[in-house]
Structure 1
Amino acid sequence: MTDYKTINMKRFTLLFIFTYLFLFTCTVSAQTFTRRDSLQGGLRPERTSFDVRKYDLSITIDPDKKYISGHNTIAFITTAATKRIQLDLFENMKVDSIVFNGKQLSYTRDYDAVFIDFPETLLEGTLDILKFYYSGYPKVAKNAPWDGGFVFSEDNNGKPWIGVAVQGTGASLWYPVKDHQSDEPEDGAFVNVEVPNGLMCVSNGRLSGGVDLNNGYTRWYWEVRNPINNYDVTVNIGDYVHIHDNLNGLDLDYYVLRDNKEKAKRHFEEVKPMLECFQEKFGEYPFKKDGYKLVETPYLGMEHQSAVAYGNKYRKGYLGRDLSFTGVGMLFDFIIIHETGHEWFGNSITSKDIADMWIHEAFTTYAESVYIECLYGYDKAMKYINGQGMNVMNDKPVIGIFGVNNEGSSDMYYKGALMLNTIRHIINDDEKWWSLILNFANTYKKQVISGETVIAFFNKESGMNLTPVFNQYLQYRRIPKLQLRQEGNKLQYRWVTDVENFTIPIALKIKDKEVRLNGTNNWQTSSVKIKNLNKDVEVLKNEFYIKVEKL
């Protein structure tokens, strides 16, 4: 864990309570990476030579033993001729056999990587299927969703209540998979799970049936009809009851513990105005074929595609707290809004490498203020998003190290959202801004992209060179500093940044008159006359996430 002795107690408390502020062992400059990191995060020929088309997962989960057994049938297309591919399964899990064309394949294990050898070369363009049989005791999370693993719990009636969250840790923690964000199964997935009678398994997509196997277990069948992130695939097991609703043809399904049914009906009324807002700003819900679900879980929450994990205990804010310290955060249920925002940013638009996880988290955190603006207006949205600035650490770059399964700073959330708010006000044209955001969500809908793609799109759509802006906020620890000084009765100004050619507007109020100046890294002089820098000049910081230094 990072030693945060240098930060004040308020920030320490924020880090402790915030769901997604991951703690790191050291700074990026001092980090070392292992072969295991490279095997999990890297793209080598054994991974790039095939494209997964579909997963068909069929498993049994024993709640008492905390044990999984079964197989994953993997359909894939060979993209480059090969005799060897890499799949992944945590090394504490047992590989029982791997079967291809009715014969067992040989394989070698290297940490969590499973290298599979074929008797003959797989030719480019061919569609093949293999079955990967496995079993074992999956890792149990100590504090989900901050650390990955299963949560084996009980409800208030003593019945098993189980969930799993593996973002960052890896989906191969509990099932065999090509464990890299760059490859989603284009044709979706089947998730078929056997659990003890009296319990229900809720997974992603649509429920296609449940069958009593007459052996004390029931098999539940779920089908995902869209591409899906590996870490989004989930299972939730409990004494669930089902609530169904509909929003303009979109199925809304809620699976909650039996005792919470009436409470959930009232509390989840927030879902409809949220979805109406997000669909207006970000486009149609991306996974309509799979429907929208909230599933009550024994951990706080996670953006599992079409099966959003909900554990905020039917409270407003974040477990009853306002993470913006403005009061605005108590107007909504943080987990419902944030995790649903991920359906557009993270689940629909996915980063190729988790080093670019800011694509998921910056846009989704920004979506919180979008929701506030939809329901309560611009001023409250600005109050909320700027209040979030108290959570920013500016400890290290937001972008992580590529190829080693490494996320950057937890500032990807709040700093990332404030960066987007800054860009909105650089553009200074809300009609253009909302059009840009909508086009972005629609253009890359259900695609896996890089950070460079995002920046190029924003440059093109805005007609501006925003690359230095993105680079300053994402690649460097420090935020832009606006320096102001007075020479005689003239105001002088410049930006101090790590990147070169940093050019964005400066929004000021000079003697109660709003002024926008074009700031660069060089000192410039305004034609506006002032008498006293400190008294006459106010920087409109609500529009830009910056530091201000009056010299």
Structure 2
Amino acid sequence: MNWMKSLLIAATLTFSFTARAQLFPHGEAFTRQDTLRGTITPERAWWDLAHYTLEVKVEPEKQFLSGTNTMTYTVTGQPQRMQIDLQAPMKLTKAVQNAEELPIEHDGNAHFISLKQEQVQGKNYDITFHFSGKPVVAQRPPWDGGLTWQKDSNGLPFIANANQGIGSSVWWPNKDHPSDEPDKGVLLKVEVPENLMDVSNGRLIDTQHNRKANTKTYTWEVKNPINNYGININIGDYVHFSEKYQGEKGELDMDYYVLRDNLEKAKEQFKDAKRMMEAFEHWFGPYPFYEDGYKLVEVPYLGMEHQSSVTYGNAYGNGYLGRDLSGTGWGLKFDFIIIHESGHEWFANNITNKDVADMWIHEGFTAYSESLFLDYFYGKEAASDYVLGTRMAINNDRPVIGTYGVNYEGSGDMYYKGANMLHTIRQLINDDDKWREILRGLNREFYHQTVTTKQIENYISDHADMNLEPVFDQYLRDVRIPIFSYTIKNGMLIYRWENTVKSFNMPLKVWVDGEEVWLKPTTQWQNKKLDPTTSALTVDRNFYVAKMNVMGE
């Protein structure tokens, strides 16, 4: 059936360019617009992003944006038309190269530019896109993406974007596909009313007062590659405080921007940021963006992982809006948003998926980082309690990996099923130093890169010195939870895996009358001789599996 499934996906991708909608194996319907957004089309394939200079004027009372994006790119293949993405109701009004306006063909959210200047392979070129309009207003950010236009307690505008799912093209024109990041970063120039401040990614390098217009323009510079959805604007009546962190790569600037009335609360609550940095540099390696600094910025929604400009809206309390997602009590030992969203600096911002179908790379590792934070400060048992507690959030409704080429994520289980899969793999490796080196090695091997699931799988298998392919297939591509079926009869343990992919052969730690025993079950029945007086078998709780005594307990 696997080859039939692959054939159906390939055929659907090809046909969806001309068909209005197609049905995929799990019942999802996709359109031409989904394919244009989620595929490396010929109009995207021949050029590589080098840099963005994004200039935007924000008019809060009108909820209106206008500006330009000057894009530098390298020609890497045979030139075609160029695809740029910008979603309605925003309008791409002009494209200019070498002082010459270029023809634009609009196709929904994709816009195709016909270039006039010769495009020589290996050379760099600039093109400037002009845009304006009222962007989509987020109804339930960060899950429902767009712009948020609110007022603070003093009646001043409080504005931010959150657009991971819907895409950065909801408010500015760009190459809106995760596989290509601007290698040399971004320069952001954001014009706001004189009485407000904009906080964006990277470092603040200039502030200009535009006295005639009664506005200010803040210029922020990002030197590292950055994923498009991580680029942000945050506008409000901010005040600033900061500290230095002596990290693995030297002195790191840690800056905090909060609404004026929340300064004292923030100075206390944001102590978790330095603790986060200490724990995650231990587990994952150096913070990946020393050149751009680290920021925590208050916003009018829960929070998101914008690179070097992590956003925060967790009401200055521990847990997830005061709740412990694990139900164990350990989730109240830290501010969920500070820890989780900052964990994405390593998994999402440093290591980024090439296709959103592999979003588990972002969310699975980062959900797991919550327990690693606890491990660092409170010990291994606390960490295990926490990650096991989050199993109650797993639905096993559809595969963790989504559908490729159509901008479609997998199940929300990517968070805590992903975390429990990683926790299970840690047990299989059975060497915490080795496991830590694998996590650090991932961030070293794929530093500032976009990756596929297979690259991550292969790296972990290679460095664990074991074939983990069946484990990844079971937890990422199947919805079933493995069942360890067994019985003990006349001093003989009879056991196998059930409810699994055909090749599943994951080793398992069990406790037989309190004694640790490692088994190597397959999908075929096996026997192991035990002491005739054996009365009890317990599966180690750290493995995300079920057990069934086929003869009853």
Question: What amino acid is aligned across from residue 77 of structure 1 in structure 2?
Answer: T
Could you tell which deviates more after superposition, 264-273 or 380-389? 264-273
Given that 1:80 and 1:123 are in contact with CA atoms closer than 8 Å, whether structure 2 keeps it comes out as no
Alignment of 1:469-508 (within 5 A): 469-508=471-510
Question: What amino acid is aligned across from residue 491 of structure 1 in structure 2?
Answer: L
1:369-392: CA deviations, max 9, x gaps? 000000000010000000000000
Question: What amino acid is aligned across from residue 257 of structure 2 in structure 1?
Answer: Y
5+ residue gaps, structure 1: 1-25
Instruction: Give the aligned partner of residue 359 of structure 1.
Output: 361
Instruction: Give the aligned partner of residue 253 of structure 1.
Output: 255
Relative distance call for 1:209 and 1:122 in structure 2 (3 A) is: same
Shift of 1:43: 0.8
Given that 1:105 and 1:117 are in contact with CA atoms closer than 8 Å, whether structure 2 keeps it comes out as yes
Alpha-carbon distance in 2 for matches of 1:406, 1:107? 27
Instruction: Give the aligned partner of residue 413 of structure 2.
Output: 411
Alpha-carbon distance in 2 for matches of 1:224, 1:250? 15
Given that 2:42 and 2:80 are in contact with CA atoms closer than 8 Å, whether structure 1 keeps it comes out as no
Alpha-carbon distance in 1 for matches of 2:118, 2:443? 40
Give the CA RMSD over aligned residues: 1.2
Shift of 1:483: 0.7
Shift of 1:83: 3.6
The 3-state SS of whatever aligns with 1:210 is: strand
Instruction: Give the aligned partner of residue 339 of structure 1.
Output: 341
Alpha-carbon distance in 2 for matches of 1:373, 1:500? 34
Alpha-carbon distance in 1 for matches of 2:189, 2:434? 45
Instruction: Give the aligned partner of residue 305 of structure 2.
Output: 303
Instruction: Give the aligned partner of residue 17 of structure 2.
Output: none
The 3-state SS of whatever aligns with 2:427 is: helix
**Match status 1:106 vs 2:97:** no
Question: What amino acid is aligned across from residue 267 of structure 2 in structure 1?
Answer: K
Alpha-carbon distance in 2 for matches of 1:234, 1:492? 57
Instruction: Give the aligned partner of residue 549 of structure 2.
Output: 550
**Match status 1:39 vs 2:36:** yes
Given that 1:81 and 1:121 are in contact with CA atoms closer than 8 Å, whether structure 2 keeps it comes out as no
1:169-224: CA deviations, max 9, x gaps? 11000000000000000000011000001100000000012111111111011000
Relative distance call for 1:274 and 1:120 in structure 2 (3 A) is: closer
Could you tell which deviates more after superposition, 522-531 or 88-97? 522-531
Given that 2:88 and 2:135 are in contact with CA atoms closer than 8 Å, whether structure 1 keeps it comes out as no
Alpha-carbon distance in 1 for matches of 2:338, 2:296? 8
Alpha-carbon distance in 1 for matches of 2:221, 2:387? 37
The 3-state SS of whatever aligns with 1:122 is: coil
Given that 1:256 and 1:295 are in contact with CA atoms closer than 8 Å, whether structure 2 keeps it comes out as yes
Instruction: Give the aligned partner of residue 185 of structure 1.
Output: 182
Alpha-carbon distance in 2 for matches of 1:509, 1:342? 36
**Match status 1:148 vs 2:145:** yes
Instruction: Give the aligned partner of residue 232 of structure 1.
Output: 230
Instruction: Give the aligned partner of residue 217 of structure 2.
Output: 219
Relative distance call for 1:178 and 1:530 in structure 2 (3 A) is: farther
Alpha-carbon distance in 1 for matches of 2:383, 2:166? 33
Shift of 1:51: 0.4
Instruction: Give the aligned partner of residue 8 of structure 2.
Output: none
Alpha-carbon distance in 1 for matches of 2:190, 2:145? 20
Could you tell which deviates more after superposition, 86-95 or 235-244? 86-95
Shift of 1:414: 0.1
Question: What amino acid is aligned across from residue 129 of structure 1 in structure 2?
Answer: D
Shift of 1:311: 0.3
Alpha-carbon distance in 2 for matches of 1:325, 1:83? 54
Given that 2:470 and 2:506 are in contact with CA atoms closer than 8 Å, whether structure 1 keeps it comes out as no
The 3-state SS of whatever aligns with 1:275 is: helix
Given that 1:530 and 1:536 are in contact with CA atoms closer than 8 Å, whether structure 2 keeps it comes out as no
Question: What amino acid is aligned across from residue 256 of structure 1 in structure 2?
Answer: V
Alpha-carbon distance in 2 for matches of 1:528, 1:487? 9
Q: Give the percent of matched residue pairs that are identical in Structure 1 and Structure 2.
A: 46
Instruction: Give the aligned partner of residue 6 of structure 2.
Output: none
The 3-state SS of whatever aligns with 1:515 is: strand
Given that 1:107 and 1:117 are in contact with CA atoms closer than 8 Å, whether structure 2 keeps it comes out as yes
Shift of 1:497: 4.2
- The aligned length equals 523
Shift of 1:93: 1.1
Question: What amino acid is aligned across from residue 437 of structure 2 in structure 1?
Answer: S
Given that 1:55 and 1:188 are in contact with CA atoms closer than 8 Å, whether structure 2 keeps it comes out as yes
Given that 1:256 and 1:264 are in contact with CA atoms closer than 8 Å, whether structure 2 keeps it comes out as yes
**Match status 1:59 vs 2:56:** yes
Shift of 1:501: 2.4
Alpha-carbon distance in 2 for matches of 1:531, 1:453? 47
Could you tell which deviates more after superposition, 269-278 or 466-475? 269-278
Instruction: Give the aligned partner of residue 9 of structure 2.
Output: none
Shift of 1:452: 0.5
Given that 1:28 and 1:396 are in contact with CA atoms closer than 8 Å, whether structure 2 keeps it comes out as no
Instruction: Give the aligned partner of residue 381 of structure 2.
Output: 379
Instruction: Give the aligned partner of residue 397 of structure 1.
Output: 399
TM-score, normalization: structure 1? 0.93
Structure 1 residue corresponding to 2:241, chosen from 237, 240, 243: 243
The 3-state SS of whatever aligns with 2:116 is: strand
Given that 2:85 and 2:169 are in contact with CA atoms closer than 8 Å, whether structure 1 keeps it comes out as yes
Alpha-carbon distance in 2 for matches of 1:498, 1:38? 32
Instruction: Give the aligned partner of residue 156 of structure 2.
Output: 159
Shift of 1:121: 4.4
Given that 2:482 and 2:498 are in contact with CA atoms closer than 8 Å, whether structure 1 keeps it comes out as yes
5+ residue gaps, structure 2: 1-22
Alpha-carbon distance in 2 for matches of 1:375, 1:452? 32
1:457-510: CA deviations, max 9, x gaps? 111101100011011100011121111123332111111243222222221111
Structure 1 residue corresponding to 2:81, chosen from 78, 81, 84: 84
Shift of 1:27: 9.4
The 3-state SS of whatever aligns with 2:372 is: helix
1:381-431: CA deviations, max 9, x gaps? 000000000000000000000000000000000000000000010111112
